[in-house]
Amino acid sequence: MAEQIISWEFKERWVNFYGKKVTERILRELKQSDPRIIAPNTLYTTRRQLQESLESQGFRFAPETPFNCLTLEFEPFNIVATSEYLSGLLTIQALTSLIPPKCLNPSSESVVADLAASPGIKTCLLAEVMENTGTLFAIEKAKKRIPALKSNITRMGIYNTFILNCDARSFPGLNVKVDHIMLDAPCTGTGLKLKKNKRLEPRILNDVTRQSVIQREILDEAWKQLKIDGTIVYSTCSLEPEEGEVQINNFLARHEKQVQVLPININIGNPGNLTRWTKVYDSQISNTRRIFPDQGMDGFFIALMKKVRE
Ligand SMILES: C[S@@+](CC[C@H](N)C(=O)[O-])C[C@H]1O[C@@H](n2cnc3c(N)ncnc32)[C@H](O)[C@@H]1O
């Protein structure tokens, strides 16, 4: 299956960028299925309460999971049929989804924009961190993806969020300055485990170019709306440097003295790396994080940037 979706061009690039050994690991890991990760909706329950009530129905969990989540080891029936799921006490998600909202760490007074929101897993996590207060704009361009976003936000009992069906590149038109931005950008998704990847067509290198242009345009428009001292978290589930380290490297070059890349305090993944890709790069890239598809996770890239006064 990996061979069908991932063309030789990608494998060659990965060997070039990450080395042969890591590429072999990537190809092996992309074929694995991850366990289901359950995150308690901390607005309405705790991990312990949720675990106890699900265990009383026969669900079993691994002894430990990062980020206060639960790893499902056995389900007597599909967890989405439980009253806990239906009443919004939990989300099912990739472990990597937890990272951007936690990095951003908005306060309960913050004005925050999620610029690529549907289906809204990270929007809900962000609203939880904000304790359902402050103001959250959830922006999604695709009209057909709005119902899923609306449904998740409603199910999770979130009421600090405005859903806007528009292109994130027109965000400055709203004339709102924000404290924090989450851009979980549209991308090629080459880091996603293949079983959950709904894409049928093989990716081509053109997709990388196309997506990285959209990412660049959204980043630049978003930046205009960020307050001084505000932060933006940028993430993709892609293994391509143009959608990760190179994208951020070029962003730093365009906005030079205005950007400080903040360290990401998690013990997962490796520092972002450009040494095999570009000769001259910004040393701040080592504060970004590159996660390879293993340890029960998808491949992921994440950067946290602060807007500073020039
Ligand atoms: C990676 S998904 C977001 C997943 C979401 N953050 C979550 O955790 O559930 C990217 C989303 O961006 C949307 N999108 C693509 N181009 C966009 C644009 N120009 N403006 C706003 N949204 C866009 C896509 O339709 C897709 O829903």
pLDDT > 70: percent of the chain: 96
Q: How far apart are CA 234 and CA 288, in angstroms?
A: 10
What stretch(es) of the chain map to CATH 3.30.70.1170? 35-93
8 A C-beta contact, residue 197 and residue 255? no
222 Cα: distance to centroid of ligand 1 (angstroms):
14
CA within 13 Å, CB half, 300: 22
CATH topology for the 35-93 domain: Alpha-Beta Plaits (3.30.70)
Choose between 3 and 198: higher pLDDT.
198
Q: Whose CA is closest to atom 10 on ligand 1?
A: 186
Q: How far apart are CA 190 and CA 110, in angstroms?
A: 33
pLDDT at 233: 98
Q: Where does the pLDDT of residue 198 fall: very low under 50, low under 70, confident under 90, or very high at 90 and above?
A: low
Q: Whose CA is closest to atom 25 on ligand 1?
A: 142
285-294: per-residue pLDDT in tens?
999 999 999 8
78-130: per-residue pLDDT in tens?
999 999 999 999 999 989 999 999 999 898 899 999 999 999 999 999 999 99
pTM, 2 dp: 0.95
48 Cα: distance to centroid of ligand 1 (angstroms):
32
pLDDT > 90: percent of the chain: 79
Which of 91, 93, 96, 140 has most ligand 1 atoms within 8 Å of CB, for mutation? Answer: 140
Architecture of the domain made up of 2-32+95-307 = 3-Layer(aba) Sandwich (3.40)
Amino acid at 221: E
Q: Enter the DSSP assignment of 240.
A: -
Amino acid at 302: I
What stretch(es) of the chain map to CATH 3.40.50.150? 2-32+95-307
pLDDT at 200: 53
